[in-house]
Amino acid sequence: MVDAKPVSHPDGPRAAGLKMTGNWDECGIKMSLPVFEAELSFFSKNSAPDEIWLFASDRPETVSEKARALDTITLAAAVKRMLVEKHGRGERSVKIIGYDSSPESYDEMLDFFDRFFKKMRNAAGYEDVLYFVSMTTGTVPANLGMIISAVSYFGNNCEAIYLSGGAPRRTEMVGKLMDKRYFQVAQNLITHYDYSGLYDLVKDWNSAPGHILLMINACQTLYDFNFDAAAEALNEVIEKKSVSASSSLVLRQVLGAIRELEAAQELMIKHQSMPAEEKAVPLNETTRAGLFESYRGLLSLWYHKMRISWHKQNYFEFYNLLFGLVENMSKYLIMQAIELPVLKAYFSEVKDALRSFEGFEAFAVSKGVNFNYEVNNFMFDLFLKYLLEKGYFKERARVISNFLNPVSELKTHRNQAVHVFGGASDDILEKEKFSKKFGGRSVVEAAANALELMEIKTSEITIFEELNCQITGELEKSLR
């Protein structure tokens, strides 16, 4: 404004700006920027912006004279001069950024600001900068293009300010837009059990409280069977009283379940590497019951990890988990038959038990087994087939015939994937016609059915689902 009147010229803004700068001695002292100056008052003297960017249209001579007459580049030059001379801003701290797009075009403005802020995001000297966007000055398409692009590239490092009743205010629009976008992405990551990606997202989401990261970390370490780390993360959330009483109760129950899994894992590891002088054969009832209980808890969680990898279409991981499940289900069934854990420290006793089991030795030798060697998976597979033929397991025999035996036919594909860089996909399972072999079920459904026959729980409400639900609830609370 000049003399408290809006700057205007019959030939348009470009001519108005040229007139002002051409008669600066007369116009400069009368010039004021009431809207701009009011917005600058949002900042205290100690936190004034390091730089002010003035965006102005400056279209090439190839466009019509009528359109170019409406450009604001010369007015921007006048504004910069005023800021330098009247407000004491440094020459370099006020930058004029011209664009050759139409300020009335939503698409052109969005494209311009997208290109500009994309470049500035990686510009040297602008790392971790805070950006404040004026929503009062400029055309509607320009303001909209600026805020959308700034939020896209700078996220929570960007805020919008505007005038209301003549006073500058900070709008929550940016934060709310960011929160909704983050929350939508977070929900998708939770649905796909992508805890690593979720952790990085929430870490970048400044408005999300830190205890959510601990809960996500608990999920990731639980998925990795690192039970102690998972328990410690949840315990910290509980001890700091970061969640409501009802959520804390759920987390305490989950923590108890994780501690049970940790104890089961420790018991299995202990018996896997138990020194000869500490072994007690036959096992007493308490030890045997403890090992069976450990198998049941760990097999259940292993199954759910396998189910998750199937859900994520991570077939390479799925193959390895599937055969890990089959191996441990087989050992569980063998242990039920010979009452000894099929673990490394007991292999000598296991071999003796197999050889003395109701005619198995003759059967195994006829199939090419050499009992001079240590027991192995081939011997275990033969033993299960022998038990199947003899009707040893009755109803549970379907675990072997309907699941373990059909899955063993996949070993060639699994070995190719592991040993000669082969691929893994659901197409391979389709080609093997496993759905038909499993009575119309998928591999995952067949595994669940087999585990249920072994009285091992496969409920879809797992520790992962409980934690996912709690994380979602905490993220909802952090929305602005």
The CATH code of the domain that includes 169 is 3.40.50
463 phi, psi to nearest 5 deg: -60, -40
Helix (H) or strand (E) holding 439: none
Q: Is residue 323 part of a domain?
A: yes
* Structural domain that includes position 334: 285-460
Helical ranges in 88-225 per DSSP H: 106-121, 140-154, 173-191, 195-204, 211-223
Q: What pLDDT shows up at residue 41?
A: 82
Both 299 and 429 in one domain: the answer is yes
Both 164 and 294 in one domain: the answer is no
Q: What pLDDT shows up at residue 414?
A: 66
Both 290 and 162 in one domain: the answer is no
Q: Is residue 205 part of a domain?
A: no
Looking at 176, 198, 223, which one is the last position of a domain?
Answer: 176
Looking at 176, 205, 227, which one is the last position of a domain?
Answer: 176
Q: What pLDDT shows up at residue 122?
A: 85
Q: How many domains does the chain have?
A: 2
Low-confidence ranges of the chain (pLDDT < 70): 1-4, 45-46, 412-420, 422, 428-436
Closest CA to 12 of 53, 70, 73: 70
Q: Is residue 183 part of a domain?
A: no
Both 292 and 153 in one domain: the answer is no
Q: What pLDDT shows up at residue 434?
A: 64
Q: What pLDDT shows up at residue 362?
A: 94
Q: What pLDDT shows up at residue 333?
A: 95
DSSP string computed for 154-172: HGGGEEEEEEETTEEEEES
Q: Is residue 61 part of a domain?
A: yes
Q: Is residue 127 part of a domain?
A: yes
Q: Is residue 328 part of a domain?
A: yes
Q: Is residue 470 part of a domain?
A: no
Q: Is residue 141 part of a domain?
A: yes
- Nearest-5° Cα angle at 14, 11 to 16: 70
Looking at 176, 191, 225, which one is the last position of a domain?
Answer: 176
Indicate the pTM of the whole model.
0.76
